[in-house]
Structure 1
Amino acid sequence: MDIGLAQWQFLVALLTGALLLFVIMWIAWHRVAERRETERRIAAARVRSGHIPLEIPTVRGGLSVSGDSPPDTLPEWFIQGKGEHAIVDELPRIHVRYLDPRGQKAECTMQVDHLDVQKRILHGHGELPGDLRRIPLHQITGARIAESGQRFNIDTWVDAVRVARRRRGQL
């Protein structure tokens, strides 16, 4: 089987085109990945600076410990409202998907009793009496707000709780 010069040139051109297409796709994929990573880092920095994203559980309440004085970091038009602002809900009722100690997938709806930020463990109780749960945060694969079913990022919520506790002087 003899390959002619025209067939050989066609094969080389085809391989060159495929390689060029691969390089262009690789560059585009890396640019998109860089942009997503940059957006993720900016969002994480905003949370660490005190911004509360819409996708994490919140409650309405005062931001200060005493409840009388509004914080001086908010603009005057915002402070003149009813004195209640959206703050991070540290004890939400959530639906969690996680890996149990045996590595099996499990899920439950639980009321959070305590978030241990240092040990990165979520303490809570389920709907049945005596159903206590201690779930390490690294084993959680997904979380939703139980009432609305809205997804939220557990790591972003933990960072927002850490910032809220730091502002109150509890951390």
Structure 2
Amino acid sequence: MGFGLDLFDNAQLRLASGLLLLLALGGWGWRWIATQRSARRRIAAARVRAGHLPNEIPTMRGGLGGTQNGAAPDTLPEWFIQTKGGHAVVDERPRVHLRYRDPQGHKAECTLQIEQVDLRRRFIVGHGDLPGQTRVVPLHAIQSARMAATGQRFNVDFWFDAVKVARRRRGDS
């Protein structure tokens, strides 16, 4: 009779140790995936701060002579120059659809034509579809952003960094 209980206790012990091992491997895998994603995000942010324009940042075509203050345009590397002679330039005034939290903490949603980007205080100012509908949205309150025309998602923080780099290159800081 004692022999049967010993086998039962050993089976429970093996099952518990197997579950513990499985949990430990799952936690290690979860942490590894999180660090990989974080590293990819940091690398992408560093590339944007270095002047690279990924596809999700709204851009417009800019020629070599049509820049402000006669400065060189904020461009991608020379290998990206298109056959039309234009460069991809950060669009500082895109039309976007935002989901954000208003100052009272409620969810809000609007489509804005961005008029001003304040780099120091980290907010955007834009007007909506109705006359006199001006909104000031801090960057930390924005939960998601999409291009109004295409519906393509874009990262507001990357766009903000790209605007900062573009202004620094033009000398507008």
TM-score, normalized by the shorter chain, greater than 0.5: yes
Q: After superposition, give the CA deviation of every residue in 1:70-89 in whole Å (9 maximum; x if it has no partner).
A: 789843x6558433111110
Change (3 A) 1:74 1:152: closer
Equivalenced residues, count: 169
Say whether the 8 Å CA contact 1:70–1:83 is kept in structure 2: no
Q: Which residue of 2 aligns with 1:129?
A: 131
Matched-pair identity in %: 52
Aligned equivalents of 2:24, 2:44: Cα separation in 1: 30
Is the deviation greater in 109-118 or in 2-11? 2-11
Q: After superposition, give the CA deviation of every residue in 1:16-43 in whole Å (9 maximum; x if it has no partner).
A: 0000001111111111111111111110
Q: Which residue of 1 aligns with 2:62?
A: 61
Q: After superposition, give the CA deviation of every residue in 1:142-170 in whole Å (9 maximum; x if it has no partner).
A: 10000000011110100000000000001
* RMSD between aligned residues: 2.3
SS at match of 1:60: strand
SS at match of 2:129: coil
SS at match of 1:4: helix
Q: Which residue of 2 aligns with 1:155?
A: 157
TM-score by length of 1: 0.90
Q: Which residue of 1 aligns with 2:148?
A: 146
Say whether the 8 Å CA contact 1:88–1:161 is kept in structure 2: yes
Say whether the 8 Å CA contact 2:76–2:87 is kept in structure 1: no
Q: Which residue of 1 aligns with 2:34?
A: 33
Q: Which residue of 2 aligns with 1:164?
A: 166
Aligned equivalents of 1:143, 1:167: Cα separation in 2: 26
Listed as ranges, the gaps of 5+ residues in structure 1 are none
> 1:1-12 alignment to 2 at 5 Å?
4-12=5-13
Say whether the 8 Å CA contact 1:70–1:79 is kept in structure 2: no
